[in-house]
Amino acid sequence: MLLAGLFGLPMTLGQLEIYKRHTNRDTPPVQTVREGWLVVGRRGGKSLISALVAVYLACFSEYSKALAPGERATVMVIAADRKQARVVFRYISGLIEGVPMLAAMVNQQTKEFSLVRGCYFESGHNLFPCRNQVFDCVLEIG
């Protein structure tokens, strides 16, 4: 229900009931939210869900109208430290390499994934220098 709510996806009646109970809202969003804040404890799956959302946004969102010719969209996942950034990048790698349709979208893989559709991933940590950079999507895990 979390991802359905964040992305404005349809919900079954059962999912809608759970959504209402946990959000105290009568109706779910009908389009992708611009910003979402979640309170999740240790071992709650923050890194995995962030990787999943990053892959979804990089592979299935359209950024071409917001980009200049030759510019690439950047999906940035910022973690609390280098270790967590590595974990998130491994999750992203596993999701992409484990799904043939997503693996076919990869143009180049080094310390980042560059996708055929002109989007790429970066993962960094809270000490990562981000000055003078514009990101199309930022997911922060703390």
CATH number at residue 104: 3.40.50.300
87-92 contact pairs (CB < 8 A, 24+): 87/47, 88/47, 88/50, 88/51, 88/54, 88/123, 88/141, 89/51, 89/121, 89/123, 91/47, 91/48, 91/51, 91/52, 92/51, 92/54, 92/55, 92/121, 92/123
What would the pLDDT profile of 105-125 be if each residue is shown by its tens digit?
887 666 666 666 666 666 666
Angstrom distance (rounded) from CA 116 to CA 127: 29
| pTM, 2 dp | 0.75
Lowest-pLDDT range of 2-16, 24-38, 75-89: 75-89
- Tell whether 26 and 54 lie within a shared domain: no
In this structure, how many other beta carbons lie within 10 angstroms of the beta carbon of residue 51? 25
Lowest-pLDDT range of 50-59, 68-77, 98-107, 116-125: 116-125
- Tell whether 28 and 45 lie within a shared domain: no
**Which band of pLDDT confidence, cut at 50, 70 and 90, is reported for residue 98?**
very high
Q: 53 is in which domain, residue-wise? A: 38-140
The chain-wide mean pLDDT, for the chain, equals 79
Please tell me the predicted confidence (pLDDT) of residue 116: 62
Please tell me the predicted confidence (pLDDT) of residue 134: 45
Please tell me the predicted confidence (pLDDT) of residue 84: 83
Please tell me the predicted confidence (pLDDT) of residue 136: 46
The 3-state DSSP class for residue 77 equals strand
- Tell whether 15 and 77 lie within a shared domain: no
Residue range 81-90: average pLDDT? Answer: 83
- Tell whether 47 and 105 lie within a shared domain: yes
**Which band of pLDDT confidence, cut at 50, 70 and 90, is reported for residue 81?**
confident
Please tell me the predicted confidence (pLDDT) of residue 76: 79
- Tell whether 30 and 88 lie within a shared domain: no
